[in-house]
Amino acid sequence: MTIAVSNSGPLIHLGQINRLDLLFSLFEKILIPQSVYSEAIESGLQQGHHNARHIQKEMGKGRIEVKNVPKERLEEIRNENLHEGEIEVIALALDTENQVVLLDDEEARIFASTFNLNVKGTLGIIIDNVHQGTISKKKGRELIKELNKIMFLSSDVFSLAMETISRE
């Protein structure tokens, strides 16, 4: 079974563009720590965000699951520069057999890479779906343009993502 551990960002962003399905064409299950559940679902529902309902619906199907993070693992990887959720996601990824971690924040991605974790972000999920043939290049470019409206993408990152899709 292909499993990934996700931070809030990829779930929220894919939920905002109504494309959580792209996660499940790559992974059978997404694990999240409690802090991600609190941010992406509980807070999102309280604030009336539609993407939180989409994420909650996937939990109801058993495709997203909340997992406890071992405290000893958290102590091993403490990093003052990262948010609690990012630390919990990395710790949980280190405790799973299939060590794929979904993070958008650059500093968190770099830190996770020091543990030899396979790091993917929201853009990588779209690119992988184009590569796999789940969505067309045209659709992939459209989705990246949609994401550019709701999340910060530097012009370099945006251009690189669009070029990568065009080369697929």
Sign of CA dihedral 8, 86, 6, 162: positive
Chain segment 73-109, per-residue pLDDT in tens: 777 787 777 888 899 999 999 888 767 999 999 999 9
Chain segment 34-83, per-residue pLDDT in tens: 999 999 999 988 998 888 998 999 999 999 999 988 777 777 787 777 88
Q: Is the pLDDT of residue 143 over 70?
A: yes
Q: Where are the domains of the chain?
A: 3-122, 124-167
In the chain, count H helices and then E strands.
11, 5
Question: Of all helices (H) and strands (E), which one includes residue 37?
Answer: helix 34-37
User: Look-up: residue for tokens 């529902």?
Assistant: 45
Q: Is 82 exposed, middle or buried (0-12, 13-18, 19+ CB in 10 A)?
A: buried
For the domain spanning 3-122, the CATH number is 3.40.50.1010
User: Look-up: residue for tokens 């550019």?
Assistant: 148
N- to C-terminal Cα separation, the chain? 26
pLDDT at res. 21:
95
CA distance 124 to 60: 26
Beta bridge partners of 119: 101
Computed over every residue of the chain, the mean pLDDT equals 91
